[in-house]
């Protein structure tokens, strides 16, 4: 089973979309392994978005992501990284499928509501920024046999 890191960004929290986002991933069949609300420090935000440090939008991205609380989560399931990215939609909400989270709830690139890891390697790197290993709760889901063949 694969893990992915998903985060409701400050705009998603302020707009009351946290519950809908959790429901969407739950209803898909993914298992929630960890969740916490926090406000990112500049340092944590810099770690998360280290790959974008040279980009023109980096400072506005850091301002955005530290502007209010976020909800950080670890979701687990078969091909969860790609599956969650599909549910989340393309980075630019204008190009995101209308049924995706960004397609439904976002308009601007810099207010795109949600983050999702882009590869299993990124997922592990990002999970380690937000969670200690013991914060990932280990349990079995009663309905797994109705989700996986």
Q: Which residues are catalytic?
A: 115
Q: Which of residues 12, 80, 112, 131 is near ligand IDP by CB under 6 A?
A: 112
Closest approach of ligand IDP to the CB of residue 115, in Å: 5
User: Are 130 and 116 a contacting pair, CB within 8 Å?
Assistant: no
3-class SS of residue 13: helix
Q: Is 84 left (phi over 0), alpha (psi -120 to 50) or beta?
A: alpha
Q: How large is the greatest C-alpha to C-alpha distance in the chain, in angstroms?
A: 47
From residue 46, how far is each of 42, 50, 70 by CA, in Å? 6, 5, 15
Closest approach of ligand IDP to the CB of residue 111, in Å: 7
How many residues form the binding site for Mg ion (CB under 5 A)?
A: 1
What is the enclosing helix (H) or strand (E) of 67? none
Residue 100 touching ligand IDP (CB under 6 A): no
Closest approach of ligand IDP to the CB of residue 44, in Å: 15
Residues between 56 and 85 that touch ligand IDP (CB under 6 A)? 57, 61
Q: Which of residues 6, 115, 126, 130 is near ligand IDP by CB under 6 A?
A: 115
User: What is the C-alpha radius of gyration for the chain, rounded to an integer number of angstroms?
Assistant: 15
Interacting residue ranges for Mg ion, rule: CB under 5 A: 118
């Amino acid at each position: 089973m694969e893990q992915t890191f998903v985060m409701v960004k400050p705009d998603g929290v302020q707009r009351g979309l946290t519950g809908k986002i959790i429901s969407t991933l739950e209803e898909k069949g993914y298992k929630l392994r960890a969740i916490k609300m926090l406000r990112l420090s500049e340092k944590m935000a810099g770690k998360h978005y280290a790959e974008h440090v040279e980009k023109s939008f980096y400072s506005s991205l850091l301002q955005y992501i530290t502007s209010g609380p976020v909800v950080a989560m670890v979701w687990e399931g078969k091909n969860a990284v790609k599956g969650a990215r599909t549910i989340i939609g393309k980075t630019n909400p204008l190009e995101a499928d209308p049924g995706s989270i960004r397609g439904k709830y976002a308009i601007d690139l810099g207010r795109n509501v949600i983050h999702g890891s882009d590869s299993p390697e990124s997922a592990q790197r990002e999970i380690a920024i937000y969670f200690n290993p013991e914060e990932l709760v280990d349990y079995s889901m009663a309905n797994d046999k109705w989700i996986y063949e």
